[in-house]
Structure formats: structure tokens, C-alpha cells
Amino acid sequence: MTNPQWLDWAQRLQMIAQDGLSYDPRPFDKMRFDQVREIAA
């Protein structure tokens, strides 16, 4: 059984946010990546 499209999007958003947070972003970027991660959770 395949995942629904929205679940794939949420997982991809979580990965993008985690990658962004891994590179010691500036405070504004960290806030944005945190928000994306929260929305995707």
C-alpha cells in the first residue's frame, strides 16, 4: 500500500526543515525551519 500524497509531502517538508536546521542557520532561518517542521508534524 502506498502512502497518501499529503503524507509524502509532510515527510519531505520535515526532511527539508531538518536539513536546514543542521547547517547552523541564522536566527531568522532557524525560526522559519522550525515553523515548517511544526506544520509538517
The domain spans of the chain are 5-40
HSE-CB for 39 with a 13 A CA cutoff: 12
**Per residue in 5-26, pLDDT tens?**
999 999 999 999 999 889 877 8
pLDDT value of position 2? 86
How far apart, in whole angstroms, are the C-alpha atoms of residue 2 and residue 5? 9
Instruction: Determine the straight-line distance between the first and last CA of the chain, rounded to whole angstroms.
Output: 21
pLDDT exceeds 90 at position 3 = no
How far apart, in whole angstroms, are the C-alpha atoms of residue 2 and residue 39? 22
pLDDT value of position 34? 92
How far apart, in whole angstroms, are the C-alpha atoms of residue 37 and residue 33? 6
Q: With contact defined as beta carbons under 8 Å apart, do 1 and 27 qualify? A: no
